Structure formats: structure tokens, C-alpha cells
A and B are shown apart, each in its own frame.
Chain A
């Protein structure tokens, strides 16, 4: 029997366009086959979309698993259509007050489901979301409820790209709507390249209005180095490892004294697995922004399961590797620039003379750079090489500045600004270009943010980050001299491209964008925690306007500015501050009682 007409009839009032499009589509995306149990199941290109034995039983199990996290008041958003057994099961089990939306990436699939299964009993209990990813994201964004995404894998994998694009768009919208205030503890490394990035992240989070506890480990650098002064490598390693464990404990102490909503660690942060597991037990939410090439530094393998969220600067292979190692949520989050720091500068003549050159390179002396750079020297242009770890690079000695001393950020920025053609060669262990060019270094964004012209080696991720008119790339080291020659002769062309690159960075690639994105990602995974905070749902004004707020609680909440985030501890503190010497209302007493137990839940150390 074909149920299409009667199913669509139920939808006609609310979704006339979906009904019309479905009717115009002939279906046939799925191959319907009977299951062993008798009910229809389906396959797509030979793969089962539902159980071949008992689709209802399988759907029931899936739905029950979703209920573990789905809370009342949230809009559940289902990825994966198939024959909709799982949606029917979810409707039967959904919590009181919870709402459900189903994303329909392809009406042919919806046609198949609506043709083969009777759905009138529940078809109107679902919000049907269809159209382009952007249209679907906008439709979801109009919902006031927090979104809880649920993926029915066997069907969702048919349209993985659509779902990914939709999620990206929802995150983008969520990022623009962030109005809440979080408390984020940022844990930096003791030293190294991720240290300035940690500082940029701190500044960005603060600029977004969040409260940041910067747990700076760099003051411990001297002690860390001192522990490395032993002759025996085994002793050095042991001492440094123990020292790192001590710092890990020190971070925990800090977290215990002022518990944050989110602990954000940057690569090389001294947090060991035991501490991360302890934090999870104590309900701390943790994230790591691993701003490293995962192939070079591999300690992530030991820590993968420790963090709740991983953010990485590489895509597929890196995400797969971390997932295999036990990471629960891995997201791509590229590097960025800080426009307050990385900016066009007006240089004095003396500065121009000191830092300027036709061609410059700033960076450490990795193997491939030592091999490649000498070939880019020429009597046709002046060349300055800045940075450390160039010992033994004799053929570059004539252009090495300051004797190969490490240079600070401000000097870097002056060099970028003073140079006509900045070279940007990603490091790798080989002797040429990076054969697995799948991450973009911070220098790319920093140069662009400075409005400086650069020639950069091609990266597989560039298409998503910069257009060719915003950045000149090369695919072979041999191409660089001619590119230098061309662009040295075209100052207006250089300015145009550099300005376009800078505009792109300011529009999309600042640390503020990255932190917004990071919080949006976590917020979508944790709609009832970070998501609610980021949206501002925990602000006094919104809490007080809730229809379920009793007058007494609303009165308590009115004591706070409407835009201030309010939690149990804040209300309790307010009561303690104003309650001495007067008779407390019953709600106030209840809050004090709950707060006395809340104070024990973060007993970390």
C-alpha cells in the first residue's frame, strides 16, 4: 500500500511547499526490502539504512540512547531520515516539553519514507526542516529552544556533507548571537609556540565579554630549564615530568579555588591524563586547542580521551587519528591573527632601514628551510633572515640578522611591515616543501593581518581560508625566485593583494572569530551547559522572565542586572549579603540549602 497521499495530507497546512516538492519528486533514493520480522526496511547502494532483522527494535534502542542526554525544553534535531523508524520511536519516548525537528536533506528520501510507512499519527509532532543548508540553519536558528543534535548514523551518512554544512552554518549563527558570559580558565604551556597563541585566546575571550582566568605557566620556565640541567637524559626527563605533574596539580588548585565553566588548554599545557580524568569526574568541562602538527608532536595519543573537546588545525586524517585514540569530540579550528597586535605599522626611516628588505623570512631553522632558502638568495634583491636555530647554516650566515637571536612579536611585526615580499615556508622534516601540506601556520594569518605581502607554500586547506586574489601561493621551490622578481616589480599589485588578505583576516580569521567558533561548537554539544550560558539563557533577565519562575525566585533575580549571568552560587551570595538579621523567605532558605551542597561538589584538591 502507498501511504504517500495520506501522510502528506497531514502536512499540507503547515508545510505546503514541502508537500508539493515531495509530490513532484518520484523518490527512489532508498531500496525498500522486507526485514526478517516483516516490516519494511531499506538499503542504499547495498548498505542497510535500518536493521534487516527488526527495524523497530533497532530504532527503539537508538531512541533510548538519545534520551540519556536529551532534556526537556531542548529542540532535538535529528540527522538521518531513512524510513523514519527512529523518529517515530523518539516521539514515543521524548521527554515532556521536549520538541523534535528532523532535517530532510533530500526530498526523494522523504518521499520513500512517506510512501512506505503510515505516519499520520505522529507526522505533525515533528518540525520538518528542509531546503539548502543555509535555509535549514536559519530555520533552526529561529527556534528559541536550545538545539540538541542527534545523529542516526546509518541514514545520516547518506548526506554527511549537507549535515556538516548545516552544522557549520548553525554554529556561525550561534556565534553571532552569543550574549552570555562564561568563566573560562585558559591553561597555557610553559614555553613554546603555543604560548603566544594562548595569550591571544585569552585576549579574544575577554573581548567577547567572558571572564577569563589565565593560568599562565610561563613563569615556571626557569625552573623547568633548571630541572633539565642534569647530565643524564633519563634524570632530566624524570625531573621535568615530575615538575609537569606538579604544575598540573597547581592548575587543579587554581580551578578548585575559582571553578570555571570551561577549562581551555593550549597545546603543551601541563595537564596530565590523571588530572584530566579527575576533572571530568568533578564535572569540569575541558577543551584542548592543539595548535600543532599532529604528525610532529604525538603526545595527543596519551591525552586523547582526557579532554571533552579537541580542536585541531588539521582536518580529516588528524580528526580520524584523534578519534581512534579515544577523543570524543574533535573539531577543525584553524589558526588566526590578533588584529590588535598584528596590524599595519607606520615605521620611521630608521626602523624601515633596520627591519626592511626586498625579501625577508622570519622563522626557526627547520631542516627544509635550511635546504630551500639558500636557493632564494639573489643579487637582484636584498634578503634578511630573522629567527633562531640557524646554527651551522653557513650559506645563510650573510643574511642572518642579530646573530640568529630569537626575536619578539613586535620585531616580527615590524619586519612584516617593512618588507616588500615576505616569504612564508611551512616547516617540515624533509628537505623541500611539506609533502602533507594540511595545516596553515599562524604566520600566514599574522602576515595577512599586518597587511603585508607574502609568498606562501600551497596548503590543502587554503581554499576554505583565502582566495587566490588574497594570497599568492607557490607549489614548487623553483617557482619562488621568479615570483619574487614579478612581485617586487609590482608594488601596487602587492598592496592590493595584501589589503584583500587583511580584509579576509579581519572578517573571518581573528582569534575572536576562533573563540566564538570554539564556544559555539561546545555550546552545540552541550546545549544545556555551555550552550545555555553562551546564548545568555542564564542571564538574570531571561531567567526572571521564564514562565515557570515563581514570584519569589523572580524577585530574587530582579536584584541582579538583567544582563548578568546568574547561577545558584550568585543568588546564594546575594541572599547572604542581604539576609543577615532579617527573616528569610522560604525560597531563600531553599537556595541556601542547595548552595551549601554546591560548595562541596567542586572539592577538587
Chain B
């Protein structure tokens, strides 16, 4: 049986967005065993992805320690050690590696573990020439183009498969929550998961803004609950410390105490997921939860908007002081329509044969013709 390895060494959001390419590879090559190489700390999410037989865990911290040992005193034993590690990871060569990152590390991993590498570069890990899809992804990222092919669909292109044309939800994980978190989503009305932090500081919403948001939401929705999710316990504590007494018992702080699978289980129990951290937003979207994203700093809806239909993203076009879409997103949750504060626009997601795309809220979901043309141009065999 042929064996192929999908290599995704980037962050949570990229891993989740790789799901479509994996499922389409499974459809295209049903006889091939598909394994996944992903960062160790994301392995449990990798195991959730449909179509994956085995997850190989890439321990970046251990590689960094080895690199530090070898950096000044390069010895044969350093090479022997990393060879042993690779042998333990994958004793047999894969027939193919599908590399979904443009980082050299992922490309080298592909060359080390597989006979043939399909990915962003045409001529090996040191080549300069990008494959058409990789060139497109880089181009839209640099030029910040709108109406682009979604990254998850571009991953399909990189692997030589077409997008599925419909949503493939991720099965919720069978995982037990801590007893005190078990009631989440089981009673009351409108449980909202609020992602308190973000991977990068510049993408963090100020804590007082989240405090305002919670206050506004709880005031608008008497039965509503807010579940604080993420790893940043201190931010969560800061958000809660001066909240009014009316918030008592309506905020569930899960920050810093859940595994990724438990986070997924919590997200599934919530009616909506709100936040600016694209990783958990992508996870929630993949689990079929409607998502509200606040995209600012370098985050762009057309690049990293949650995949699926009916997700909503407030995109900052020009940040102006304290103009955050607090009341606007609360109103949207309360089904009172979509508005945008000055400097922001609102987008909602759609899906068609050529994958997912975002259009301004209130406009008809007409698929941008550019995407279809692009698929014809970049991958004629698939169209």
C-alpha cells in the first residue's frame, strides 16, 4: 500500500485548515495510507482530522536543544542522534510527502522522510522556484488581496486536489471535561465562548474592551453565559475582576486548565465563539460552531477567515482609538442585524464549488469569478 505523509508544522489554525486537503487526498487516493506530521503539542488535534491514520509528533523544542548542542561543536554524534530520532519517528520512507508550509524546515522534513515531495517548491528544499499555488499564496499574502482563494482551499491546490465544494465538519472529540465545567452549554440560553487572548500580543483585544463586551452581552441576554477560553489565565482574571454583580455565576473561566481536546469539547457546547485568536476560531469553525471574529493588526479576513458558511468577521480597515465592535457584535448575536463602527467592515462567509469565500454582509452571495478562473489557471487538470 502506498504511504503518504502530510506535513503541517505551523500553528493550530493552519493544522485545522489542512483538514480539507487531507480529506480530498483521501478521496483522490483511497488506496494510500495518509499520515500526518505536526507539532507535538497539536498532535491530539491532528488525530481528530478525518482520513489520517497515524500522527507523527514533531518535537520542536527537542530539535532546538539539539541545534544548540551542535551549533558550535559540530560532531558526527549530533548527526547520528538526529538520524536516530528520525528513524524512531518514521522507520520506513514514505512514498510522498505533501508539504503545506513554505518554511524550509518543513521542506527539509519532507525530503528526509519521503522519496518524493509535493509542496511549495519545485526543485527541492533549496530551490527558489515556487509551485503555482505557492506563488499565489505568497502573492496574495504580500499584496493583501481581497476575494482570494481561501488558504484551506489553496492547501488543496498545493496537494494537487480540488476543494470539496461543501463543508466537512470535524467530529467533536470524546473527551471528559473537569466536573466543574461539565454544566457548560447544558442549560440556559446562548452560551458564548470568548477567546481571551491571541498568539501574538498585537492581536490581543484589550481586557477592558472584553469587559465592556461581556457587560453589554450579559445585559442584553438575561439568560446568556460567557465561557472564557484560552491559555491566558491572567488576562481572564483581569477581564473579570471589576465586573458588576449581575455577572456573578454567568461567567465560566476555563482558561489555562484545558487540553486542546477539552477546548474543542467546550467550543462545541457553545452557541457562538467570539474572539481574535484565529487558531481557536478555526477550530470552532471546523467543529461546526458559528464564529464571530475580530480581525485587526495583520489579520485579514480573506486570508484567515474561518472556513465554512455564516461565520462573521469584523475587519478593521483603519483602527481609530477605542472604536471596537462591542455593541455591534452583541447586537448580531441578539439577531438585531449587522453594523460596523467607523473604520471596520463586516464580512460573512459562503461556500461554493471552488471553496469558501467572504462577502460583505448584506450583499448577495455571488461567488467571485476570479476564484474559478484562478483554479482553471493554476490547476487545469483539476478543473
Q: Which residues of A contact B (CB under 8 A)?
A: 261, 283, 528-529, 532-533, 538, 543, 546, 548-550, 553, 566-569, 571, 575-576, 579-584, 586-587, 589-598, 600-601
Chain B, interface SS category: helix
Can you name 6 A-B residue pairings with CB atoms under 8 Å?
A538-B72, A550-B76, A567-B72, A589-B108, A594-B78, A600-B64
Bound: A133/B70 CA distance, A: 36
A589-B68 in contact (CB<8A): no
Partner of A597, one of B66, B73, B76, B124: B66
Name the B residues within 8 Å of A538 (CB-CB): 72-73
Given contacts A589-B108, A589-B111, A601-B64, contact A594 B70 (CB under 8 A): yes
Check: B242 CB closer than 8 A to any chain A CB: no
Partner of A580, one of B64, B73, B103, B123: B123
A532-B73 in contact (CB<8A): yes
B64-A597 in contact (CB<8A): yes
Tell me the number of A-to-B contacts counted with CB atoms below 8 Å.
105
Q: Mark B85-109, 1 if CB is under 8 A from A, else 0.
A: 0000000000000000001110011
Given contacts A579-B126, A583-B124, contact A283 B76 (CB under 8 A): no
Name the A residues within 8 Å of B246 (CB-CB): none
Nearest-Cβ distance from residue A182 to partner chain B, whole angstroms: 11
For A283, A569, A594, which residue has the most chain B Cβ atoms within 10 angstroms? Answer: A594
Partner of B70, one of A579, A582, A598: A598
Name the B residues within 8 Å of A598 (CB-CB): 67-68, 70-71
A591-B124 in contact (CB<8A): no
Given A580-B127, A586-B83, A593-B109, 15 extra CB contacts under 8 A: A261-B72, A538-B73, A569-B71, A583-B124, A584-B111, A584-B126, A589-B125, A590-B83, A594-B78, A595-B67, A596-B104, A598-B68, A600-B67, A601-B67, A601-B68
Bound: A601/B71 CA distance, A: 10
B125-A584 in contact (CB<8A): yes
Check: B74 CB closer than 8 A to any chain A CB: yes
Name the B residues within 8 Å of A261 (CB-CB): 72
B124-A581 in contact (CB<8A): yes
Residue of B nearest to A580 (CB): B126
Given contacts A580-B128, A594-B66, A595-B67, contact A548 B108 (CB under 8 A): no
Name the A residues within 8 Å of B123 (CB-CB): 580-581
Nearest-Cβ distance from residue A181 to partner chain B, whole angstroms: 13
B79-A553 in contact (CB<8A): yes
For B64, B71, B104, which residue has the most chain A Cβ atoms within 10 angstroms? Answer: B71
A594-B126 in contact (CB<8A): no
B78-A592 in contact (CB<8A): no
Name the B residues within 8 Å of A592 (CB-CB): 104, 108, 125-126
Check: B219 CB closer than 8 A to any chain A CB: no
A568-B72 in contact (CB<8A): yes
Nearest-Cβ distance from residue B357 to partner chain A, whole angstroms: 34
Nearest-Cβ distance from residue A506 to partner chain B, whole angstroms: 34
Bound: A87/B123 CA distance, A: 57
For A548, A575, A596, A600, which residue has the most chain B Cβ atoms within 10 angstroms? Answer: A596
A596-B108 in contact (CB<8A): yes
Check: B366 CB closer than 8 A to any chain A CB: no
Bound: A553/B104 CA distance, A: 21
Check: B175 CB closer than 8 A to any chain A CB: no
Bound: A532/B112 CA distance, A: 31
Check: B323 CB closer than 8 A to any chain A CB: no
Check: B82 CB closer than 8 A to any chain A CB: yes
Check: B60 CB closer than 8 A to any chain A CB: yes
Partner of A584, one of B68, B72, B124: B124
Name the A residues within 8 Å of B75 (CB-CB): 546, 548
Bound: A569/B72 CA distance, A: 8
Given contacts A543-B74, A548-B75, A592-B108, contact A597 B126 (CB under 8 A): no
B72-A594 in contact (CB<8A): no
Partner of B74, one of A566, A582, A583: A566
Name the B residues within 8 Å of A593 (CB-CB): 63, 82, 105, 108-109, 112
Bound: A538/B75 CA distance, A: 10
Check: B77 CB closer than 8 A to any chain A CB: yes
Residue of B nearest to A529 (CB): B72
A586-B67 in contact (CB<8A): no
Closest 10 CB pairs of A and B: A597-B67, A598-B67, A596-B105, A580-B126, A579-B126, A548-B76, A597-B64, A598-B71, A594-B67, A568-B71
Name the B residues within 8 Å of A568 (CB-CB): 67, 70-72, 74
Residue of A nearest to B104 (CB): A596
A590-B112 in contact (CB<8A): yes
Partner of B63, one of A548, A583, A594: A594
A594-B82 in contact (CB<8A): yes
Bound: A566/B63 CA distance, A: 21
Bound: A383/B63 CA distance, A: 69
Name the B residues within 8 Å of A583 (CB-CB): 124
Nearest-Cβ distance from residue B276 to partner chain A, whole angstroms: 24
Nearest-Cβ distance from residue A209 to partner chain B, whole angstroms: 18
Bound: A532/B72 CA distance, A: 9
Residue of A nearest to B63 (CB): A597
Bound: A538/B71 CA distance, A: 11
Residue of A nearest to B69 (CB): A594
Given contacts A584-B126, A593-B108, A597-B60, contact A549 B76 (CB under 8 A): yes
Nearest-Cβ distance from residue A586 to partner chain B, whole angstroms: 7
Bound: A567/B108 CA distance, A: 20
Name the B residues within 8 Å of A601 (CB-CB): 64, 67-68, 71
Bound: A583/B127 CA distance, A: 10
Q: Mark B154-192, 1 if CB is under 8 A from A, else 0.
A: 000000000000000000000000000000000000000
Partner of B82, one of A543, A579, A584, A590: A590
Residue of B nearest to A571 (CB): B74
Bound: A543/B60 CA distance, A: 27
Residue of B nearest to A581 (CB): B123
Nearest-Cβ distance from residue B177 to partner chain A, whole angstroms: 35
Nearest-Cβ distance from residue A35 to partner chain B, whole angstroms: 40
Bound: A590/B77 CA distance, A: 12
Nearest-Cβ distance from residue A546 to partner chain B, whole angstroms: 7
Name the B residues within 8 Å of A586 (CB-CB): 83, 112
Name the B residues within 8 Å of A533 (CB-CB): 72
Name the A residues within 8 Å of B124 (CB-CB): 579-584
Residue of B nearest to A548 (CB): B76
Name the B residues within 8 Å of A571 (CB-CB): 74
Nearest-Cβ distance from residue B68 to partner chain A, whole angstroms: 5
Nearest-Cβ distance from residue A167 to partner chain B, whole angstroms: 24
Name the A residues within 8 Å of B79 (CB-CB): 550, 553, 587, 590-591
Bound: A528/B68 CA distance, A: 13
Residue of A nearest to B67 (CB): A597
Nearest-Cβ distance from residue A267 to partner chain B, whole angstroms: 28
B74-A567 in contact (CB<8A): yes
Name the B residues within 8 Å of A575 (CB-CB): 126
Bound: A575/B79 CA distance, A: 15
Bound: A576/B104 CA distance, A: 11
For A261, A579, A589, which residue has the most chain B Cβ atoms within 10 angstroms? Answer: A589
Residue of A nearest to B66 (CB): A594
